[in-house]
Amino acid sequence: MALALAPCAPGRLGYYALVCGASLPRSAALGALGVLLSPPAGFYAGGKFGRLAGLLSLISSAGSVLVSASALRTAREHELSVSPADGLRGRLDARLAPRTVVFASGKGRQFNADIYAPTGGHTSRVGVVVVHGGAWRHGDKGENAPFSRWLAAHGFLVADIQYSLATERDWLAAVDDIKAAISYVRQHAAELNIDPQRIVILGRSAGGHLALLAAYTADVALRPWRVVALYAPTDLVQLYQHARGQQGRDLREGLHALIGGPPADNRAAYQSASPVQRVPGDAPPTLLIHGRSDTSVPVEHSRRLYRILRRAGARAELIELPFARHAFDLVPEGLWACITAQALLKFAANTQPRARPGG
């Protein structure tokens, strides 16, 4: 009932109630229940307010069904096995608790990484290096532990890493730290039971930006096998110019710390730190996943990088999630998180990622 009445709340609460069908798959059914129960109670006991509540509950339920249907249609378009009953949390193996290791980067810097290891002794597993988000100034490993545990439960070795934040050093140091993590995983491949030639970088938001830079490094020996970027900024000048509101201020402050000032003072540095400017002709296969309703990092960032990759002849896939906003995968039970997980499974298994229709 509370879910059905949620759109009465102002601001973002109403939005999240509307998209709850994709965030929490069971909520579409709950919303429908609210439709069945709320209108009679309102019409016979609550007068005008009751009728308004009943109408809003109907809108909420319809919105939940619409968003869930859109999410499932996206999954079908990309040939992903996702159903309305899916939820990452229900599939997790509680035994897959991480152990923490220390890896060294340049100039004596040391960082922790949480290792999520699947059970069994298979030696050809894919390794996944996870790079957290946080507007370059915040965040830490463990940002999305349920997702990492799910990956480990499905046979991946996950290394969820720390790296230099922009309050400490610049973006070059952060990229060096990520490459050092890749090197660590490769050097310990036998111990970790992975194939050292099959290492994927998975980055979220600012972490996705850094993961792309690490993947497109000129040092081929330190490149990953593949890279996955979720809602990642790819053009820092564009990101700075279009930043709005409190989130925009946070992004601009992060960019100031990362680059050393605004684009007006150092446009060349902003361009140098933008993945769209650094795509090599032999770029590793790239999977981009982005929400179409992302107001923090608009979907055009992934669309533009996808076009550049395709023109360069690189293997690339872009999955756009209707109605999804920033950080859509942080709700473990959500359909968007399930789509992301299934897309990663397919991407790691497929030697020829399928091009986006019309790309």
Question: Can you say whether the dihedral through the CA atoms of 322, 327, 331, 333 is positive or negative?
Answer: positive
Rounded to two decimals, the pTM is: 0.83
Determine the average pLDDT of the residues in 27-41. Answer: 47
How much is the average pLDDT of 109-134? Answer: 91
CA distance linking residue 12 with residue 9, whole number of Å: 8
Q: For residue 121, what pLDDT band results from cuts at 50, 70 and 90?
A: low
* pLDDT greater than 50 at residue 358: no
Question: What percent of the chain is helix, strand and coil (3-state, nearest 5)?
Answer: 50, 15, 35
- Of 244-248, 299-303, 326-330, give the lowest mean pLDDT range: 244-248
Q: Are 359 and 306 in contact (CB under 8 A)?
A: yes
Determine the average pLDDT of the residues in 275-284: 97
Q: What is the pLDDT of residue 197?
A: 95
The lowest-confidence range among 67-81, 89-103, 127-141, 307-321 is 89-103
Q: Which contiguous run of DSSP H or E holds residue 89?
A: none
Element (H, E) at 152: helix 145-153
Q: What percent of the chain lies above the pLDDT cut of 70? A: 77
Residue pair 317/50 in contact by the 8 Å Cβ criterion: no
Q: How long is the chain?
A: 359
Flag whether pLDDT at 101 surpasses 60: yes
Q: How far apart are CA 281 and CA 266, in angstroms?
A: 26
C-alpha separations of 150 from 18, 124, 147, 192 in Å:
27, 18, 5, 17
Backbone angles phi, psi at 210, to 5 degrees: -70, -35
Q: What are 227's strand-pairing partners?
A: 201, 286
Question: Are residues 193 and 161 in contact, defined by beta-carbon separation less than 8 angstroms?
Answer: no
Query: Angle CA(124)–CA(350)–CA(178) in degrees, nearest 5?
Result: 65
Q: How confident is the model at residue 62 (pLDDT cuts 50, 70, 90)?
A: low
Please list, in sequence order, all residues whose beta carbon lies within 8 angstroms of the beta carbon of residue 99, skipping any fewer than 6 positions away: 114, 115, 117
Higher pLDDT, 11 or 159: 159
Q: Which domains does the chain have, with CATH numbers?
A: 2-77 (no CATH), 89-349 (3.40.50.1820)
Confidence category of residue 247, pLDDT binned at 50, 70, 90: confident
Give the range among 13-22, 178-187, 202-211 with minimum mean pLDDT. Answer: 13-22
Strand, coil or helix: what is 247?
A: helix
Q: For residue 291, report the phi and psi dihedrals to the nearest 5 degrees.
A: -85, 135
Beta strands 157-161 and 110-116 are antiparallel
Rounded to whole angstroms, the Cα distance separating 200 from 206 reads 17
Least confident of 130-144, 173-187, 221-235, 241-255: 241-255
Cα(112)–Cα(266) distance, integer angstroms: 33
More confident residue, 19 or 331: 331
Residue 297 has pLDDT above 90, yes or no: yes
What is the residue whose two structure tokens read 């360069």? 312
Statement: residue 200 has pLDDT above 80: yes
Rounded CA separation 199/195 (Å)? 8
pLDDT for the residue 10: 35
Strands 226-230 and 157-161, sheet pairing: unpaired
Q: Which residue has the higher pLDDT, 158 or 64?
A: 158
Residue 331 backbone phi and psi in degrees, to 5: -100, 100
Higher confidence at residue 307 or residue 250?
307
Count of Cβ atoms closer than 10 Å to residue 32 Cβ: 18
**Summary mean pLDDT of the chain:** 84
